[in-house]
Each structure stands twice: as C-alpha cells, then as structure tokens.
C-alpha cells in the first residue's frame, strides 16, 4: 500500500493498491479468481481518508502481530483505519482470518479452516485490551460454519477474559448470523456484552447476489432474539448503500429493524475492495445520507449514524456513551427503552 504521510487521500488510489495485493493472492478469494473484473464508477470528491502512518497506528499494528491477533480494520480494508488506529481504536476479529462464507462485498479471506481454533486467543485479546488502555472494545469475527456452535463459545470466552482483566471496559460484539447453529445468539447475550451488533448489510432483494450464505429474516430474527434474551443489551445493525437498493427498500429495512427492537442503526457507502468484488452501483450523496438519518431518527432509533464513511465500529466508544445517555434521557421523559 502506498503511504503518503497524513494528508487527505482520494480513496481510489488506496483501493487500487488493495486490489493489486488481493488480485496477486488468488488463495485469498479463490471463489472469485475467475470472475471478470467489475468496474465501479469513479469515486467522488467527498470520500476522503488518511493513510495509517502515525506512530500510534504503527504501535497498534505491532501489538496485533505480537499477540497473533487480527483486526477487521486490516482484513476488510476499512477506509477509516488511519483515523481509528491513530486513536488506538481497533475492532478485533476473532476465530482466525479465514471466513467460510463468500459474500460479494467482503474483503476478508475465504476458505475452510477445518475446525482450527486458537485457544490462546481470548487471553491474547484481553491482554491487548489492557495494554491499549481501552475503555470500549469491539469484537467481531469471521463466519465459522465449520464449528458446531459457529464460534459462539469463543465470543463468550473473550467477553469473560476481558471482564476479568479490565472490568471497567465496555464490550461490543459484532457477530455473524450463526445460521443453523442453535442458540449462539442467546449464549453470547447471556454473557452480557454491552452492545450486540449484527449487520443486515443490505435490503432483502439483494441478498442472493450480495450475501448468498445468509437469510435476511433470519438475521432480523437474531436481533429480536437478543432483545428477548436480555432487553438491557443495546442492539445495533447496519446496512451499506450504493449496491442498487431503492430508497423505499431502505426505509422498509428501517421499519424491520425497529420491529425487532434495534436501538442503533448505521448506514454507510459500499466501497469495492477489489475488482473481483461486486461493483458499486452508485455513490450516494451526503445529502441523501442526511435524509436517511433524519427519517431513521423519526422512526425512533436511539441513535443513527449515516455518512458515506460510516462503518459499524467507527467511533464505537464515543457512540456507546451517546447511546447510553439517550436511553437514560428517554427513560426520564417517559419514553421506552427502545
């Protein structure tokens, strides 16, 4: 990846480099290797990021390597990596770096880990949280359809180790769907993370092409199951736009989330990680994001984040404090918890 100091960058050159790296490593996405290149429109001026060149970012990278940990920041080629790592914010990705799904939008390596599981991962994660002095940590994972419980027990172990080592740190989980894996969502909810996030990713019409291994209404039901298991846990979900969805479809997703009791909705622009991934249909304007945010707030979410560069875990620590304050405010004025 080209590094250009800390000045603002057009994301397009950064993704050109990411595409080159990914396309020269065919084992990263073997199911996409023979697909024709998918050409996206040129990125607009409003999408700007900073390269991860700060000393703080280098320190985070060293810590991840020393502890044999992975971050979704790197694996998914997140555009906010420079900003987050500068402030020592990182979304830890557990259960390894290889996903058993092959979603059309995702840059995480795909394959079959064949049951491999790092038993030291929960301890290494907890040690890193303490070393970084985190007040709020986000834990996500790859999909692990090869594991009997989909990796739910590893989430629980990570939560328990962090609680033991840094009891004042709040914990947010961003989980896969645990499809056909029993009571994984309930098992994790009983471990009492502060925030339980599961992304719907897109509108139901686009699932077959964008998220073929998942089912929209099962993901929606997962969020509802968490709410039923422990109503005190904040629930969160997000979608990408720019994949070909319509405004009416996005508004319907908002209604579906509210019906499932989701507290916090995120909406961000889809960005193509490599030429073998699905192309961007269009770039949604900042004004449209403002409109989506206003509509979602009117529908009753405790919190809404909607900008081109919004990602599920971006500003998660700051957002958690605002989320907690808003629930408390509404409870004082006679509103509901959700």
Please measure the distance between the N-terminal and C-terminal CA atoms of the chain and give it in whole angstroms. Answer: 43
The more confident residue out of 75 and 68 is 68
Q: Which two tokens stand for residue 303?
A: 């919190």
The more confident residue out of 172 and 69 is 172
The answer, yes or no, to whether residue 92 has pLDDT greater than 70, is: yes
| Of 90-99, 159-168, 271-280, 328-337, minimum mean pLDDT range | 328-337
The more confident residue out of 26 and 145 is 145
- pLDDT tens by residue, 260-286: 999 999 999 999 988 999 999 999 999
The dihedral through the CA atoms of 111, 113, 119, 120 has a sign that is: negative
In angstroms, rounded to a whole number, what is the distance separating the alpha carbons of residues 110 and 97?
8
Highest mean predicted confidence (pLDDT) among 18-22, 217-221, 316-320: 217-221
The answer, yes or no, to whether residue 327 has pLDDT greater than 90, is: yes
The more confident residue out of 76 and 308 is 308
What does the pLDDT read at residue 316? Answer: 81
Q: Which two tokens stand for residue 118?
A: 């790092």
CB-CB contact of 49 with 82 (8 Å): yes
Average pLDDT of the chain is 85
User: Rg for the chain (alpha carbons), in Å?
Assistant: 19
The answer, yes or no, to whether residue 25 has pLDDT greater than 50, is: no
Q: 0.95 exceeded by the pTM?
A: no
Beta bridge partners, 237, equal 265
């Amino acid at each position: 990846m080209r590094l250009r100091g800390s000045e603002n960058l057009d994301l397009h050159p950064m993704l050109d480099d990411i595409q080159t790296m990914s396309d020269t490593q065919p084992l990263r996405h073997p199911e996409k290797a023979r697909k024709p290149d998918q050409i996206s429109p040129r990125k607009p001026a409003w999408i700007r990021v900073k390269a991860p060149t700060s000393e703080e970012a280098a320190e985070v990278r060293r810590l991840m390597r020393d502890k044999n940990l992975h971050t979704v920041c790197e694996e998914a080629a997140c555009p906010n990596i420079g900003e987050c790592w500068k402030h020592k914010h990182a979304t830890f990705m557990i259960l390894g770096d290889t996903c058993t799904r092959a979603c059309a939008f995702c840059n995480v390596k795909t394959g079959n880990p064949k049951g491999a599981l790092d038993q030291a991962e929960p301890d290494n994660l907890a040690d890193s949280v303490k070393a970084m002095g985190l007040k709020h940590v986000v834990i996500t994972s790859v999909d692990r359809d090869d594991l009997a419980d989909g990796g739910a027990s590893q989430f629980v172990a990570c939560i328990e180790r962090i609680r033991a080592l840094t009891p004042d740190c709040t914990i947010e989980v961003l989980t896969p769907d645990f499809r056909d894996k029993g009571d994984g969502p309930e098992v994790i909810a009983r471990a009492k993370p502060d925030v339980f996030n599961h992304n719907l990713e897109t509108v139901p019409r686009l699932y077959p092409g964008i998220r073929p291994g998942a089912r929209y209404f099962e993901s929606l039901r997962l969020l509802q199951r968490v709410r039923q298991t422990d109503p005190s846990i904040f629930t969160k979900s997000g979608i990408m736009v720019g994949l070909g969805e319509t405004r009416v479809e996005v508004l319907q997703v908002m209604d579906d989330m509210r019906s499932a009791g989701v507290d916090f909705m995120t909406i961000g622009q889809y960005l193509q990680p490599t030429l073998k991934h699905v192309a961007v249909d269009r770039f949604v304007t900042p004004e449209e994001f403002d409109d989506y945010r206003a509509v979602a707030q009117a529908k009753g979410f405790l919190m809404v984040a909607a900008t081109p560069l919004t990602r599920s875990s971006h500003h998660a620590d700051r957002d958690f404090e605002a989320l907690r304050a808003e629930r408390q405010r509404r409870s004082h004025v006679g509103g509901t918890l959700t």
